[in-house]
Amino acid sequence: MKRDKFKKMKLDIQTLEPVSHPDNCVLLLSEVKMENPEPMELSIGQAMQKKSWMPDGTILVGLEAKGIRTEDEKLRNLGTSKQAEILDYNFFRSRLPKTVITEVKAELLDFRLRKTIPFSVKKLEFAFGNGKKVDYTDKVSVLSLDQLAS
């Protein structure tokens, strides 16, 4: 296994309004779309969440997703048996200056109230086996942020 192989994606969000029962809330994340400069869709694997209730009543949710998959034809045609071996630190780092996160398909649901809670993205980064990280927090498009906040 390559040492610089993709390890996990970290997404931290904060609600834009107070939440009365944080335990009734769950963050659902299905995929992240990026252009680097070619369009690329990443499906997210299993994820773990941690919630913190802030003094102002909002909640901070930290999600760590291990494993990504892509249907990108270029990557599939590279002839490797494990896509994660291709999606390594150098792949993402070399494309960072031209990368834009065009969509974060996520919802924060309050099951008790049966409603979606608007939130903002505080951090979005990829971590790799060698300990290095690629921070995409400032690369999330304004349109995507606006959709998550509504």
Average pLDDT, stretch 1-29? 86
Measure the CA–CA gap between 70 and 20, rounded to whole angstroms: 37
Q: Which value, to the nearest 10 degrees, does the dihedral of the CA atoms of residues 45, 15, 62, 92 take?
A: 60
| pLDDT over threshold 70, residue 94 | yes
What is the reported pLDDT for 80?
Answer: 41
Domain positions in the chain: 6-148
Kindly report, residue by residue over 55-92, the tens digit of the pLDDT: 999 999 999 988 666 666 655 544 344 554 567 888 88
Q: Residue 73 has which token pair?
A: 């034809």
Beta bridge partners of 109: 26, 116
More confident call, 149 vs 50: 50
The answer to whether residue 14 scores a pLDDT higher than 90 is yes
Residues forming a β-bridge with 69: 43
Q: How far apart are CA 80 and CA 96, in angstroms?
A: 23
* pLDDT for 22 beyond 70: yes
